[in-house]
């Protein structure tokens, strides 16, 4: 029962928000790589995608990025930037746009592998980090500094995507505390990184399970509220995950509907967030439509 509950919450919560967040990391990562060649073109392309109001267009265009980044990694296999960008793109595509279970698992496995290679290429002492015991893992993560945030953010995002695609595998989900340790470290270093998305991830991770099974919903609520504040309320995905993770966990129908109705009433148009917000509004409609059956 514990495994079933944990797996169900994982599918509905923490790693599901990778649909929106990893995509943002992917776009900034791609921009980082291509910027070395054509600064303005790369930045303009990334912003155009982030401000796209038709997710299907992005879905159809994403495979071209996959092939591009595979080629970049092949040409420069020791580049942390190339590896990080590839890991987050595969994570985003595998979670957001692939419904076939086996294909999603295959794509997110590559995402995770690229993320692990990225931290190893970044610094030798991080090679094999994912397989380290929890104490050793925590000791390594405790040494992270400001310069380490981008590569370890990509590392955590790709690992979460892999977990989402393998949410029925208890052995895979058992590593969630390691991912949470990385996110906690990143939050301590730079809580504003990626518009506070680290807080959003931590919010969902702390509301994966009810209190009786070790969840900390009130701690999660604080993270959600911090994520909303850090984006000045413009990132609508934060409210969607607040409703999905916290309000549904505690069967708070009033808060649930309030948050989702606020999402639907808001304009999705926001610089760098339009794509995310359109997708968040679609999720908000689905959650409201299923609310009578849930509560």
**Segment 178-195 mean pLDDT:** 91
pLDDT of residue 244: 93
pLDDT of residue 27: 52
Confidence of residue 187 (pLDDT cuts 50, 70, 90): very high
Quote the mean pLDDT of the chain: 83
Please determine, for residue 3, whether its predicted confidence score (pLDDT) is greater than 50: no
Please determine, for residue 177, whether its predicted confidence score (pLDDT) is greater than 60: yes
HEC letters along the chain: CHHHHHHHHHHHCHHHHHHHHHHHHHHHHHHHHHHCCCHHHHHHHHHHHHCCCCHHHHHHHHHHHHHHHHHHHHHCCCCHHHHHHHHHHHHHHHHHCCCCHHHHHHHHHHHHHHHHHHHHHHCHHHCCHHHCCHHHHHHHHCCCCHHHHHHHHHHHHHHHHHHHHCCCCHHHHCCHHHHHHHHHHHHHHCCCHHHHHHHHHHHHHCCCCCHHHCCCHHHHHHHHHHHHHHCCCCCHHHHHHHHHHHHCCCCCHHHHHHHHHHHHHCCCCCCCCHHHHHHHHHHHHHHHHCHHHHC
- Alpha-carbon distance of 148 to 189, in angstroms, equals 9
pLDDT of residue 210: 83
**Segment 75-94 mean pLDDT:** 87
- Alpha-carbon distance of 184 to 178, in angstroms, equals 10
Return the closest-CA partner of residue 246 out of 223, 271, 226, 275: 223
Q: In CATH, which superfamily holds the domain spanning 191-295?
A: TRAP transporter T-component (1.25.40.920)
Name the most confidently modeled range: 48-57, 86-95, 116-125.
116-125
pLDDT in tens, 222-271: 999 999 999 999 999 999 999 999 999 999 999 999 999 999 999 999 88
Confidence of residue 221 (pLDDT cuts 50, 70, 90): very high
Q: What are the tokens at 139?
A: 């000791």
Architecture of domain 1-174: Alpha Horseshoe (1.25)
Confidence of residue 167 (pLDDT cuts 50, 70, 90): confident
pLDDT of residue 192: 85
Return the closest-CA partner of residue 15 out of 179, 231, 141: 179
pLDDT of residue 145: 95
Share of the chain above pLDDT 70, in %: 83
pLDDT of residue 271: 82
pLDDT of residue 65: 77
pLDDT in tens, 5-14: 333 433 334 3
pLDDT in tens, 31-59: 444 444 444 544 455 566 677 788 888 78
The domain locations on the chain are: 1-174, 191-295
pLDDT of residue 45: 56
């Amino acid at each position: 029962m514990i495994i079933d509950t944990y797996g169900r919450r994982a599918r509905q919560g923490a790693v599901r928000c990778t649909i929106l967040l990893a995509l943002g990391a992917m776009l900034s990562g791609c921009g980082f790589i291509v910027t070395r060649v054509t600064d303005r073109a790369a930045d303009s392309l990334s912003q155009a995608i982030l401000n796209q109001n038709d997710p299907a267009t992005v879905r159809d265009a994403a495979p071209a990025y996959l092939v591009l980044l595979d080629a970049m990694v092949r040409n420069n296999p020791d580049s942390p930037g190339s590896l990080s960008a590839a890991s987050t793109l595969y994570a985003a595509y595998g979670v957001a746009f692939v419904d076939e279970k086996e294909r999603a698992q295959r794509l997110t496995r590559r995402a995770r592998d690229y993320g692990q290679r990225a931290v190893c290429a970044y610094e030798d002492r991080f090679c094999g980090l994912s397989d380290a015991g929890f104490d050793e893992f925590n000791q390594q993560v405790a040494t992270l500094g400001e310069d380490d945030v981008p590569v370890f953010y990509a590392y955590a995002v790709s690992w979460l995507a892999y977990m989402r695609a393998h949410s029925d595998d208890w052995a895979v989900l058992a590593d969630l505390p390691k991912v949470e340790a990385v996110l906690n470290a990143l939050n301590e270093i730079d809580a504003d990184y990626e518009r506070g998305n680290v807080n959003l991830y931590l919010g969902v991770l702390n509301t994966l399970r009810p209190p009786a099974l070790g969840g900390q919903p009130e701690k999660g609520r604080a993270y959600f509220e911090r994520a909303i504040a850090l984006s000045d309320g413009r990132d609508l995905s934060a409210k969607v995950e607040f409703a999905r993770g916290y309000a549904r966990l505690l069967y708070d129908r009033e808060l649930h509907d309030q948050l989702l109705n606020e999402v639907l009433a808001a304009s999705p148009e926001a610089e760098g967030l339009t794509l995310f917000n359109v997708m968040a509004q679609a999720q908000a409609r689905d959650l409201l439509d299923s609310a009578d059956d849930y509560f």
